[in-house]
Chain A
């Protein structure tokens, strides 16, 4: 089975712009979660989607949003980018009843 894929792998944006990141989960996985990783804050949960519905949301401002499509692919959007949004954004998928999560390689976002 193919693993979790994320596109793009690297992205450079300027402050004030917006960005959309994409995640394709493992085939058959219906749950997709997003995490932000920074040297200062570590790994932090952004949100989780299941069957196109957001089930959980972490403590991030409304500039961070996401969605999931009927084929379980997910996108996250960050509007009005700030320098502090520079991070590795990780997507993870899991089966409905399991807790193990399978991570993609991440998208490295740099905001200048």
Chain B
């Protein structure tokens, strides 16, 4: 079963705009990760934020984590057409390499 939900399910923006996706989860976590998937292919790891961190940056990506609200957001700045993909949050608990994925947000960036 999935840990939580992502919001929105689909997002369509113009190139150059910022895209924000949200993720909610249900149980306590060690870390939260974001992955990108292009058209039914394998997932690509984007960024990991640990439970004791509140914000993390990587290039055009900014992730925030609010453990009190059990939620996270992914911001992609200055989006490009190549950012068009599905974005998934995944939570890691305990020492196991078991990730529990959200339902994903389909991002479409229009040129």
> What B residues does A102 contact at CB under 8 A?
45
What are the residues of chain A within 8 A of B43 when measuring CB–CB? 90, 92, 103
Q: Are B100 and A106 interface neighbours, CB within 8 A?
A: no
Query: 1/0 contact trace for A84-101 toward B, CB 8 Å?
Result: 000010101010000111
The number of inter-chain residue pairs (CB within 8 angstroms) is: 66
Find out whether the CB atom of B97 lies under 8 angstroms from the CB atom of A43: no
Q: Chain A: interface secondary structure? A: strand
Known interface pairs A45-B98, A56-B98. Does A101 touch B42 (Cβ–Cβ under 8 Å)? no
Interface residues of A in 1-18 (CB under 8 A from B): 4
- Inter-chain contact A43/B42, CB cutoff 8 Å: no
B1 and A106 form a contact (CB under 8 A): no
Against A, the Cβ 8 Å flags (1 = close, 0 = not) of B76-90 are: 000000000000101
B48 lies within 8 A of chain A by Cβ: yes
- Given A31-B97, A45-B99, A48-B96, A104–B42 Cβ distance below 8 Å? yes
Q: B40 within 8 Å of A by Cβ?
A: yes
Contact partner of A101 (CB less than 8 A), chosen from B41, B99, B100, is B99
Tell me whether B2 is interfacial, beta carbon within 8 Å.
yes
Q: Which residues of chain B are near A43, meaning CB under 8 Å?
A: 2, 88, 90, 101
**B42–A90 touching, CB < 8 Å:** yes
Cα–Cα, bound, A56→B41 (Å):
24
Minimum Cβ distance to chain B for residue A29 (Å):
10
Contacts of B31 in A (CB 8 A): 99
A43-B101, A99-B31 provided; 14 other pairs, C-beta below 8 A? Answer: A4-B42, A43-B2, A43-B88, A45-B98, A45-B100, A50-B97, A55-B96, A55-B97, A92-B97, A99-B48, A100-B45, A101-B99, A106-B41, A108-B40
Cross-chain pairs A/B with CB under 8 angstroms, 26 sampled? A31-B97, A33-B98, A33-B99, A42-B102, A42-B103, A43-B2, A43-B88, A44-B1, A45-B98, A48-B97, A48-B98, A56-B98, A90-B42, A94-B97, A99-B31, A99-B48, A100-B33, A100-B45, A100-B48, A102-B45, A103-B35, A103-B43, A103-B44, A105-B42, A106-B41, A106-B42
